[in-house]
Structure 1
Amino acid sequence: MLLRRWRPEDREPFAAMGADPRVMEHFPALLDRAASDSLVDRADAHLAEHGWGLWALEVADPAAPDDAGRFAGFTGLARPRFEATFTPCVEVGWRLPAWAWGRGYATEAARAALRAAFVDVGLEEVVSFTARTNTRSQAVMARLGMRRDPAEDFEHPLPPGHRLRPHVLHRLDAATWRRDAVTPER
């Protein structure tokens, strides 16, 4: 996977992802085009200012010639904009279109983002969190070597009773990543 800056031609497939109920199953709402474009604008501005953030994903796998060069969502690093017991922090996250699921793309891209976090940015810890019902993303977190302590699970600041309010939290510190993480660069 290639992690790169956003391009104008990414907007249409990204908007399609935000309107896909399968992709957005574990998010509070679908995104309309304006909200989707706003997210792209914020992500690209953060990348331009800081050199890290939510990168656009592109398939760069020569073993997948039909997908080579195809936009495949995003992955990267972000600062959550809500307060919780574990904030402030930096999280690693991803969102891929349904056609890209089950191919290892999220894990590969998140590994590259973690490498950036610990090597390039110099972070000491990265977290990841998702709705308790999102077992696919939790499996990616486990493959990344992130650890969950159920005592740290939390209620996302969604309205009381919202089906996505219960969240799980995973952590990975730089020392553990250096010792244990399997990355393509090693």
Structure 2
Amino acid sequence: MTAYLETERLRLRRFTPADVELLVELDADPEVMRFLTGAPTPRDEVENVVLPEILKVYAAHPQLGTFEAEDADGFVGWFGMQPTADPATVGVGYRLLRTAWGKGYATEGTKALIAHAFTHLGMTRVEADTMAVNHRSRNVMRRSGLRFEKIFHVHFDDPLPGTEFGEVLYSVDRATWEAGQHG
């Protein structure tokens, strides 16, 4: 299958219906899901909700979506570049197997998505958010060139521990990103 994007160590491609086992494996680890849902995603939800939603985004936004990521040894997780309410802004994110943590993949993949958004897709802004207490992801955002913008609060019926500290939004606009590429 054709690569969506390649970095020095990662290859990103679209998911297919045959990739359900990869997503089940990824979402089965409670530590991977700690700041997302707090629990593994049931297989039937991956098959009937998660994967169909991923495929639906490709149809509606051909250059955007959630992309399977692999290194030389195989599947490591996914990186996403999602549409937002503003057509000139995308949201970036990632989810990696625990075995891929600490290798710099999150920063490498996120930087590549940001560059792709500005250089190939004509976006004017890239943003990302996470729980305020998710310090590892916040560090990835900073290392990727995103800058802290604000803390905001979202109501959840079944909040995760740490929700009371809010969510954080990081972003970068094209002019700031371009200045950083030459500075």
Matches within 5 A, 1:29-178: 29=38, 30-37=40-47, 38-49=49-60, 50-60=62-72, 67=73, 70-79=74-83, 88=86, 89-149=89-149, 152-159=150-157, 162-165=160-163, 166-178=166-178
Query: 1-side partners of 2:176 and 2:22: how far apart?
Result: 36
Measured against aligned partners, the alpha-carbon deviations of 1:84-143 in whole angstroms (never above 9, x if no partner) come to xxx655210000010000011111111121122112221111111101111111110010
Contact 2:35 2:160 in 1 (8 A): no
Hey, which of these two has a bigger chunk of strand by percent?
2
Contact 1:10 1:71 in 2 (8 A): no
Task: Could you list the structure 1 runs, at least 4 aligned residues long, displaced by more than 4 angstroms after superposition.
Answer: none
Code of the aligned partner of 2:25: A
Q: Any idea what SS the aligned residue of 1:17 has?
A: helix
Q: Any idea what SS the aligned residue of 1:145 has?
A: coil
Query: 2-side partners of 1:120 and 1:164: how far apart?
Result: 37
* Post-superposition offset of 1:72: 1.3
Q: Which residue of structure 2 aligns with residue 6 of structure 1?
A: 15
Aligned length: 166
* Post-superposition offset of 1:173: 0.7
Gapped regions of structure 1 (runs ≥ 5): 61-66, 81-86
TM-score of the pair, normalised by structure 1:
0.79
Query: 2-side partners of 1:45 and 1:116: how far apart?
Result: 21
* Post-superposition offset of 1:48: 4.2
Q: Percent identity?
A: 33
Query: 2-side partners of 1:114 and 1:52: how far apart?
Result: 12
CA RMSD of aligned residues (A): 2.2
Measured against aligned partners, the alpha-carbon deviations of 1:57-82 in whole angstroms (never above 9, x if no partner) come to 1114xxxxxx2xx11111121136xx
Contact 1:54 1:77 in 2 (8 A): yes
* Post-superposition offset of 1:10: 2.9
Contact 2:130 2:168 in 1 (8 A): yes
Query: 2-side partners of 1:131 and 1:8: how far apart?
Result: 30
Q: Which residue of structure 2 aligns with residue 64 of structure 1?
A: none
